Copies of this chain bind each other. A is one copy, B any other.
Amino acid sequence: MSETLLSSRNLAFELYEVLDAEGLTQRERFAEHNRETFDAAIGTARSIAEKFFAPHNRKGDEHEPRYENGEAILIPEVKPAVDAFLEAGFLNAARSFDAGGMQLPTLLSQACFAHFQSANAASTSYPFLTMGAANLIESFGTDEQKQRFLQPMIDGRFFGTMALTEPHAGSSLSDIRTRAEPAADGTYRLKGNKIFISGGDHPLSENIVHMVLAKLPDAPAGVKGISLFIVPKFLVNEDGSLGKRNDVLLAGLFHKMGWRGTTSTALNFGDNGECVGYLVGKPHHGLSYMFQMMNEARIGVGMGAVMLGYAGYLYSLEYARERPQGRVPDNKDPATAPVAIIQHADVKRMLLTQKAYVEGSFDLGLYAARLFDDTTTLATEAERKQAHELLDLLTPIVKSWPSEFCLKANELAIQILGGHGYTREYPVEQYYRDNRLNPIHEGTHGIQSLDLLGRKLAQNGGAGLKQLIRLIANTAERAHFYESLTPLREPLEKLVARLQAVTIGLLTDLGQGKVNSSLANSALYLKVFGHTVIGWRWLEQAIRAEEGLAKGNAADVNFYKGKLQAARYFLTWEVPGCHHELAILEARDDVCLGMQHEWF
């Protein structure tokens, strides 16, 4: 039977041939683990995802959450699925043994989680959001806050959300208006409205812990005046029992294009002046706390986009293998039997493109997860800092590239199924609709491009960028060993050289205060930078495939040849196309910036 969530052969390739997951077990934190414990965790994830998450993916789309008497009602299948996830320990997969976790590397917890994201993006969101909220309290909360709010989240009794966006401000967090007034007892009273809060209400847990951005009365204007608060749906007594309902009101649900199984809520804080919140960390540091947790969250979002692409790719691949239709062009004889559509060149193109996008960004997402492990478990502070610098730089790509290109993959999956792909009788159109959220939430595509070009590149004197260039050069050098890889390596080297020059030029302009013109075409920069990174990852995969082929295991030949062909596709069909965007960037072309709004 064919696999529907991801290719386990490909996952093993990533973990054990590309990313050296076993090497991590040499580190003290992961010393109790080995390939067997890794594979056991993955096997459990796959089986729970297949048994509890995949079967209600369509139903969750068709029966989206309803608003009833101030509560959000979900289909009954979500809770048993989430419970099975909790029971198997995946919420705390990366947490320490002594905190009740599995102490897995993030690389492995992400690999496990990927199965759920592929099976059912919507139901998977509830624990995903909880992990994010829990990590914030774990990193910045007081012991008492941990005791009262974090522990029940770890235990799976409380779920969490991130409440940032406000109706009038959208991405512009500096303009949020939610206020927090200090109360006599050291807590705060919040007042304001938040929208698009995923998981903002549901019946899956005893309590919901909202991590809310708000401003104190003495807050300076802008992003440096934002503080972070814990605002539970139900207050929690000192003994841990639930107290009365807090003044957080579910004002309504949004009805989305896709990802419908996850409640997207409008929440009113303090309509009755009684919304109790607890300050996390220092006043006015809320946004920097959020940003410190964003790398991990954005890896998760990026991997979510990858996995929706993966699910669509595998489905359309299977369909193309089994669907007979038409004949290859040089056969004009209608009496011959039709061929499977996978034999048609244009269907091959659409499958190969999907493979290149999906497996390229799957590799990058896992690479980033491993880098995250490096930031916490490498031996020296200097090494950890270095890992951090690279991860910071790559994060906008990890989040945005699959959001754009695995969404494209979903479009191609629909196209391969033709009229059937356009119907809700087949799953591929839902994958597209679900995935369409990813370029919007957790920092829109435009925000990511400004983050990369306007912030990340120059951070720490460009340390992350220099490191990336060295890593790419190292991969290219190792590729020299295989003459067959020359036509794949050369386009990448050419692109990197020119990208470097363009980058220096743009950063120089930025340094000289030409801010608007330098950032005007940041979307093109994001695309080229992303293609460079994914091109690098494909060259790395190609080297590993050549190494694998050299081992001569007959059962693996097709797998490795497929890898080499996808690498060839990406490096010769996609990478060279980026010179066009680089030319526009080099010219500081102002056709978009110069467009006047009266001219539209």
Interface residues of A (CB under 8 A from B): 165, 168-172, 174-175, 195-196, 221-223, 254-258, 264, 317, 321, 324-330, 334-335, 338, 340, 342-349, 351-352, 355, 411, 414-415, 418-419, 421-425, 429, 432-433, 436-437, 439-441, 444-446, 449-450, 454, 513, 515-516, 519-523, 558-559, 561-562, 565, 568-569, 572-573, 576-577, 579-581, 583-584, 589, 591-600
Of all A-B residue pairs in the complex, the 9 with the closest CB atoms, nearest first, are: A222-B334, A562-B599, A349-B592, A257-B429, A345-B520, A330-B515, A172-B326, A577-B580, A221-B334
User: Does the CB pair B591–A255 fall under 8 Å?
Assistant: no
Q: A168-B325, A418-B444 are in contact. List 4 more A-B contacts (CB 8 A).
A: A348-B593, A411-B436, A572-B589, A573-B589
Residue of chain B at shortest CB distance from A407: B411
Given A344-B446, A415-B440, A421-B440, A565:B595 Cβ within 8 A: yes
B344, B414, B429, B437: which contacts A422 (Cβ < 8 A)? B437
A549 to chain B, nearest CB (A): 12
User: Does the CB pair B325–A169 fall under 8 Å?
Assistant: yes
Residue of chain B at shortest CB distance from A520: B345
User: Does the CB pair A576–B580 fall under 8 Å?
Assistant: yes
User: Does the CB pair A422–B345 fall under 8 Å?
Assistant: no
Residues from chain B with Cβ under 8 Å of A558 in the complex: 596, 598-599
**21 pairs of residues in contact across A and B, judged by CB atoms under 8 Å:** A171-B326, A174-B334, A221-B334, A254-B419, A255-B423, A330-B516, A342-B600, A344-B446, A346-B446, A346-B520, A346-B522, A349-B592, A351-B600, A411-B436, A415-B440, A418-B440, A422-B440, A558-B596, A565-B595, A569-B595, A577-B577
Q: How far is the CA of A423 from the CA of B171 in the complex (A)?
A: 16
- Say how many copies of this protein the assembly contains: 2
User: Does the CB pair B257–A345 fall under 8 Å?
Assistant: no
Q: How far is the CA of A317 from the CA of B595 in the complex (A)?
A: 13
User: Does the CB pair A355–B600 fall under 8 Å?
Assistant: yes
User: Does the CB pair A321–B597 fall under 8 Å?
Assistant: yes
B325, B342, B346, B589: which contacts A597 (Cβ < 8 A)? B342
Residues from chain B with Cβ under 8 Å of A347 in the complex: 446
B433, B568, B599: which contacts A257 (Cβ < 8 A)? B433
B258, B329, B445, B599: which contacts A516 (Cβ < 8 A)? B329
Q: How far is the CA of A460 from the CA of B347 in the complex (A)?
A: 30
A486 to chain B, nearest CB (A): 15
User: Does the CB pair A519–B596 fall under 8 Å?
Assistant: no
B321, B326, B439, B576: which contacts A583 (Cβ < 8 A)? B576
A239 to chain B, nearest CB (A): 39
Residues from chain B with Cβ under 8 Å of A425 in the complex: 254-255
B254, B328, B424: which contacts A255 (Cβ < 8 A)? B424
Residues from chain B with Cβ under 8 Å of A600 in the complex: 317, 342, 351, 355, 562
Residues from chain B with Cβ under 8 Å of A440 in the complex: 414-415, 418-419, 421-422
